[in-house]
């Protein structure tokens, strides 16, 4: 068994060696075959590369040839174009040379003509001198003197004609202006004809019975004293049945007192503590009423951007009167008239209406602040953001400041129309005329006064003095003396402006 195994092993070993040798030989054969194929493939690739290279070289040669051909073609075209341009330039140069020669010829001709003209002008001047000398010899005067005489004659003639024309134009302008002004004012008054009720200085409160008078007076008069002290009014309890009279020059305080008394009478509980409580409530109610009234008026007039302070002051004017005329109603009327006049003469209607509504705003506080209500109102309007045009129109509506714009004069006119129309103010005609007459008489009583005129419904007196008697320095002293005498001898509401005018006029008419 062992010997067989060895033999087998030998056979196996030999077989392995043979197989390995066969495998090695086969691998070598296979490698030679692959190398041969690779060499053939490499030869083919090299041949393809040489072929591609030849093709590329041929393509490059063709492209270079084509580029050279196109370049030569473009070069020929450019050369031809340059040749044509050069021919044109040569032709233009020839034309320019020809024109230059023509211009030179014309310049020579012009110079020759200028020389001829200069010669003729010299001859004309010499002839003019000869003729002037001959004319001066014949006329017996020099040319300068003749000019002066002629100019003076023409000047005098022109002056006479100008004076005549000016007089005719002034006359025509005055007639036209008067007609137009009358028509505008009449239209404004006609369109603003409203009823006006005059307020008085008293209010009457009705009582349910006579017993209520005793409660109003109180024990030893303590109720009535408390009421008058808190409201600032005079309470009149007389023999008039079932009636108590409230007297006060301030309509606002009178309204507070009226509301308070009506509440106390309705409540029947009247004692100092209750009076104080009711008066405080009445003040708040009236303040609210003032605010609502101001807002309502501003809304009715179409003025939406009025400040809160001016709105309240406007509402206070409902409880303010001037010569019996309600100031708020008067302000509304002036605003309406001003807007109509503005539409007629072609200025801003909204601005005129606003200035008219606020022109008397100073009367809401003129009893608390010293000074003319126009200037007070102007300061208030400026403080609360009104425009400079509105401020100056308020200040100038009674000529406390001079009028500078059309709006200033328009507000003055609207104020005068509203105040002076029939039924506007409650004043006895005889008393009014007597006050005006006395005012003018006081002014005329001073020496040197030529004429005196009361204007602005007696709010201003204008005095014209004799210029030969009163000097410029004396006019200021005369105005102070007249103002002092007016204050001493005349009773009047508000203030009166005294204006002294001294001027020397020379008037002559050319006929």
3-state secondary structure 480-506: HHHHHHHHHHCCCCCCCEEEEECCCCC
3-state secondary structure 18-87: HHHHHHHHHHHHHHHHHHHHHHHHHHHHHHHHHHHHHHHHHHHHHHHHHHHHHHHHHHHHHHHHHHHHHH
Give 3-state DSSP helix, strand, coil % of the chain, rounded to 5.
Answer: 70, 5, 20
Q: Do the bridges between strand 460-465 and strand 497-501 make them parallel or antiparallel, or are there none, so unpaired?
A: parallel
Decide: 502 and 475 in contact? Cβ < 8 Å. yes
* CATH classification for the domain delimited by 312-317+334-426, as one of 1.10.3210.10, 3.30.2310.20, 3.30.450.40, 3.90.1570.10: 1.10.3210.10
Compute the distance between CA of residue 436 and CA of residue 454 in angstroms, rounded to an integer.
6
User: At 501, phi and psi to the nearest 5?
Assistant: -120, 125
Compute the distance between CA of residue 398 and CA of residue 363 in angstroms, rounded to an integer.
13
Decide: 464 and 451 in contact? Cβ < 8 Å. yes
| Greatest C-alpha distance within the chain | 191
CATH H-level, domain 429-501: superfamily: Cation efflux protein, cytoplasmic domain (3.30.70.1350)
Compute the distance between CA of residue 343 and CA of residue 2 in angstroms, rounded to an integer.
152
Total residue count of the chain as it appears in this document: 511
pLDDT digit string (tens) for the chain, length 511 residues:
444 567 777 778 777 877 877 778 777 777 777 778 888 888 888 888 888 888 898 888 888 989 988 888 888 888 888 888 888 889 888 888 888 989 889 888 888 888 888 888 888 888 878 777 777 677 666 667 767 777 777 777 777 777 777 777 777 777 776 666 666 665 655 555 443 333 456 788 888 888 888 888 888 888 888 888 888 888 888 777 888 888 877 777 888 888 888 888 888 888 888 888 888 998 888 888 888 888 888 888 888 888 888 888 888 888 877 766 788 888 888 898 888 888 888 888 889 999 889 988 888 887 777 778 888 989 999 998 899 999 999 988 888 888 888 888 888 888 888 776 554 555 545 566 677 888 888 989 998 898 888 876 677 888 989 888 888 888 888 888 998 898 888 876 667 888 898 887 777 777 6
Is the pTM above the cut of 0.85?
no
b or e along 146-177 (b: 16 or more beta carbons within 10 Å of the residue's beta carbon)? Answer: eeeeeeeeeeeeeeeeeeeeeeeeeeeeeeee
CATH class of 192-300: alpha beta
Q: Do the bridges between strand 497-501 and strand 325-326 make them parallel or antiparallel, or are there none, so unpaired?
A: unpaired
Compute the distance between CA of residue 277 and CA of residue 114 in angstroms, rounded to an integer.
112
For 434, the token pair is 């007597």
Q: 């010899």: which residue's tokens? A: 137
Compute the distance between CA of residue 221 and CA of residue 260 in angstroms, rounded to an integer.
17
Secondary structure class of 268 (helix, strand, coil): coil
b or e along 317-336 (b: 16 or more beta carbons within 10 Å of the residue's beta carbon)? Answer: bbbbbbeebbbbbbbbbbbb
Compute the distance between CA of residue 153 and CA of residue 455 in angstroms, rounded to an integer.
47
Domain ranges of the chain: 141-190, 192-300, 312-317+334-426, 429-501
Which residues, at least 6 apart from 264, have a Cβ–Cβ distance to it below 8 Å?
Answer: 216, 270, 274, 275, 278
Which residues, at least 6 apart from 6, have a Cβ–Cβ distance to it below 8 Å?
Answer: none
Compute the distance between CA of residue 235 and CA of residue 224 in angstroms, rounded to an integer.
7
Compute the distance between CA of residue 349 and CA of residue 342 in angstroms, rounded to an integer.
5
């Amino acid at each position: 068994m062992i010997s067989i195994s060895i033999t087998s092993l030998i056979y196996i070993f030999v077989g392995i060696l043979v197989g390995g040798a066969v495998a090695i030989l086969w691998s070598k054969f296979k490698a030679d075959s692959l190398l041969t194929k690779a060499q053939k493939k490499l030869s083919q690739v090299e041949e393809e590369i040489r072929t591609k290279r030849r093709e590329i070289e041929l393509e490059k040669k063709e492209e270079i040839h084509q580029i050279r051909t196109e370049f030569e073609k473009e070069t020929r075209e450019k050369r031809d174009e340059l040749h044509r341009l050069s021919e044109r330039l040569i032709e233009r140069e020839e034309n320019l040379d020809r024109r230059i020669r023509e211009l030179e010829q014309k310049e020579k001709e012009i110079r020759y003509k200028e020389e001829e003209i200069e010669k003729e002008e010299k001859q004309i001047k010499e002839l003019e001198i000869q003729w002037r000398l001959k004319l001066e010899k014949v006329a017996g005067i020099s040319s300068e003197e003749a000019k002066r005489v002629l100019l003076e004659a023409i000047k005098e003639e022109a002056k006479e004609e100008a004076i005549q024309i000016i007089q005719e134009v002034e006359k025509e302008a005055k007639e036209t202006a008067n007609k137009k002004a009358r028509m505008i004012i009449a239209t404004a008054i006609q369109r603003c004809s409203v009823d006006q009720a005059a307020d008085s200085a008293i209010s009457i409160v009705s009582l349910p019975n006579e017993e209520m008078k005793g409660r109003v007076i109180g024990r030893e008069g303590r109720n009535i004293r408390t009421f008058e002290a808190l409201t600032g009014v005079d309470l009149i309890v007389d023999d008039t049945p079932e009636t108590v009279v409230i007297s006060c020059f301030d309509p606002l305080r009178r309204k507070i007192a009226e509301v308070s008394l009506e509440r106390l009478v309705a409540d029947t509980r009247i004692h100092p503590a209750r009076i104080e409580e009711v008066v405080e409530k009445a003040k708040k109610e009236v303040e609210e009423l003032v605010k609502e009234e101001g807002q309502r008026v501003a809304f009715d007039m179409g003025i939406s951007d009025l400040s809160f302070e001016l709105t309240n002051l406007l509402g206070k004017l409902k409880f303010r009167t001037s010569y019996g005329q309600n100031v708020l109603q008067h302000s509304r009327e002036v605003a309406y008239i001003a807007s109509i006049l503005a539409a007629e003469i072609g200025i801003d209607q909204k601005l005129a209406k606003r200035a008219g509504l606020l022109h008397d705003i100073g009367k809401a506080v003129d009893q608390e602040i010293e000074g003319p209500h126009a200037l007070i109102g102007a300061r208030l309007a400026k403080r609360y953001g009104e425009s400079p045009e509105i401020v100056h129109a308020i200040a100038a509506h009674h000529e406390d400041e001079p009028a500078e714009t059309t709006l200033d004069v328009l507000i003055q006119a609207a104020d005068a129309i509203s105040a002076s129309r029939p039924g506007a103010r409650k004043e006895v005609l005889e008393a009014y005329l007597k006050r005006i007459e006395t005012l003018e008489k006081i002014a005329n009583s001073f020496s040197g006064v030529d004429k005196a005129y009361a204007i602005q419904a007696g709010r201003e007196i204008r005095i014209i003095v004799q210029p030969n008697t009163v000097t410029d320095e004396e006019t200021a002293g005369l105005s102070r003396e007249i103002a002092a005498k007016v204050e001493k001898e005349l009773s009047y509401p508000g203030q009166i402006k005294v204006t002294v005018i001294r001027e020397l006029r020379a008037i002559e008419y050319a006929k």
